[in-house]
């Protein structure tokens, strides 16, 4: 325990406070987070309109500066100058923990490089909330943010993750969750996945099902396709990871001699891995086919 009392923000001049905010349930704003937001000289906010709603809710009227993906490089120097002049700053994103698939990295790095204190005000994070309820191994995990939006790149990324020996956490939007689940099912088959939807909100749902069954679950009801999603992929069986390493070694040799689809067929037969997985690995290693449609069919 620290010496600071439970709710006392004890704001230090010249310090940057990285403050986690609710991911859907305003009751999750901690008393200390509120006190810091009220006590700092200024808040750097991803979207000042979104944060204004939170501040109104908790009766705080601290001035704000917008800091988002498109202006972070421009505003960082000015914010660090404020810290060096003795102002205190809070950094918030629209929801959850700043920097976790959210802006703020450049500000935190610049503040540290300038010798300013950077302090965490920890709280909600959708990925950690999902991990805590998934019922999947949690001693070690990999967070990968969002999958690539384009189908080919997404499938390759999934094929790489298919052999990850830790639980994999990723974010998905409502626009792509159905397609991403279909791709996950094609590559992972019966591997258990946990889908967390609208965590901490009124229509919160979480289901742990094999990838193919989860794809059907979400297709059955359009309401299940709305909102915000976190996915947790259960770890690959240990043998799979060894096989994947072996598959990549073999593919590197064979791809110099033959098209991706033939190399994938041979390596799948040698390693016992799914042909689709090996084919995506081959594409990820730069393998190509004269005719992609035939190649996919052949794989």
Does 179 sit near ligand SAM (CB under 6 A)? no
User: Which residue of 23, 43, 136, 185 would you call a contact of ligand SAM, by CB under 6 A?
Assistant: 23
Question: How many whole angstroms separate alpha carbon 47 and alpha carbon 197?
Answer: 23
Question: How many whole angstroms separate alpha carbon 65 and alpha carbon 83?
Answer: 14
- The site map against ligand SAM for 125-144 (x = CB under 6 A) is xxx-----------------
Q: Smallest gap, in angstroms, from Cβ of residue 231 to ligand SAM?
A: 8
User: Which residue of 41, 50, 65, 101 would you call a contact of ligand SAM, by CB under 6 A?
Assistant: 101
Interior/surface letters 27-47, b for 16+ CB within 10 angstroms, e for the rest: ebbbebbbbbbbbbbbbbbbb
Does 104 sit near ligand SAM (CB under 6 A)? no
Question: How many whole angstroms separate alpha carbon 90 and alpha carbon 86?
Answer: 13
Q: Smallest gap, in angstroms, from Cβ of residue 23 to ligand SAM?
A: 4
- The site map against ligand SAM for 206-245 (x = CB under 6 A) is ----------------------xxx---------------
Does 96 sit near ligand SAM (CB under 6 A)? yes
Q: What is the CA radius of gyration of the chain?
A: 23
**What Cα–Cα distance (Å) separates residue 170 from each residue in 141, 185, 230?**
11, 15, 6
Does 46 sit near ligand SAM (CB under 6 A)? no
Q: Give the helix/strand (H/E) hosting 2.
A: none
Taking the alpha carbons of 184, 186, 187, 188 in that order, is the dihedral positive or negative?
A: positive
Q: Which is nearer to ligand SAM, 215 or 271 (CB)?
A: 215
Q: Smallest gap, in angstroms, from Cβ of residue 151 to ligand SAM?
A: 19
Which strand ranges, in their side-by-side order, compose the sheet holding 42-45? 64-66, 42-45, 89-92, 15-19, 117-121
Of the listed pieces 50-58, 148-156, 193-201, 243-251, which binds ligand SAM according to CB under 6 A? Answer: 193-201
Question: How many whole angstroms separate alpha carbon 12 and alpha carbon 179?
Answer: 47
Give residue number: closest CB to ligand SAM.
96
Q: Both tokens of residue 230? A: 């976190």
Q: Which residues of this chain interact with ligand SAM, rule CB under 6 A?
A: 23-24, 93, 95-97, 100-102, 125-127, 171-173, 196, 198-201, 228-230
């Amino acid at each position: 325990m620290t010496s600071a009392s439970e709710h006392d923000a004890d704001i230090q001049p010249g310090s940057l406070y990285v403050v986690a905010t609710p991911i859907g349930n305003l009751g999750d704003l901690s008393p200390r987070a509120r006190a810091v937001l009220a006590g700092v000289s200024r808040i750097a906010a991803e979207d000042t309109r979104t944060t204004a709603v939170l501040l109104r809710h908790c009766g705080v009227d601290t001035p704000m500066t917008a800091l988002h993906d498109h202006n972070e490089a421009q505003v960082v120097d000015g914010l660090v100058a404020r810290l060096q002049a003795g102002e205190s700053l809070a950094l918030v994103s629209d929801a959850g923990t700043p920097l976790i698939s959210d802006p703020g990295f450049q500000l935190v790095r610049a503040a540290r490089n300038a010798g300013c204190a950077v302090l965490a005000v920890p709280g909600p994070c959708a990925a950690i909330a999902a991990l805590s309820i998934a019922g999947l191994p949690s001693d070690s995990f990999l967070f990968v943010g969002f999958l690539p939006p384009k189908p080919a790149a997404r499938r390759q990324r999934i094929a790489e993750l298919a052999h990850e020996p830790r639980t994999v956490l990723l974010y998905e939007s409502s626009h792509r969750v159905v397609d991403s689940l279909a791709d996950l099912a094609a590559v992972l088959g019966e591997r258990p996945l946990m889908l967390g939807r609208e965590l901490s909100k009124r229509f919160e749902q979480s289901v742990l099902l094999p990838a193919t069954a989860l794809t059907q679950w979400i297709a059955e009801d359009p309401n299940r396709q709305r909102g915000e999603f976190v996915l947790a992929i259960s770890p690959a069986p240990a043998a799979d990871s060894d096989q994947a390493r072996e598959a990549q070694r073999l593919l590197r040799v064979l791809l110099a001699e033959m098209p991706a689809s033939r190399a994938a067929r041979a390596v799948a037969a040698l390693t016992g891995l799914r042909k689709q997985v090996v084919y995506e690995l081959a594409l990820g290693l730069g393998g190509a086919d004269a005719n992609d449609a035939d190649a996919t069919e052949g794989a």
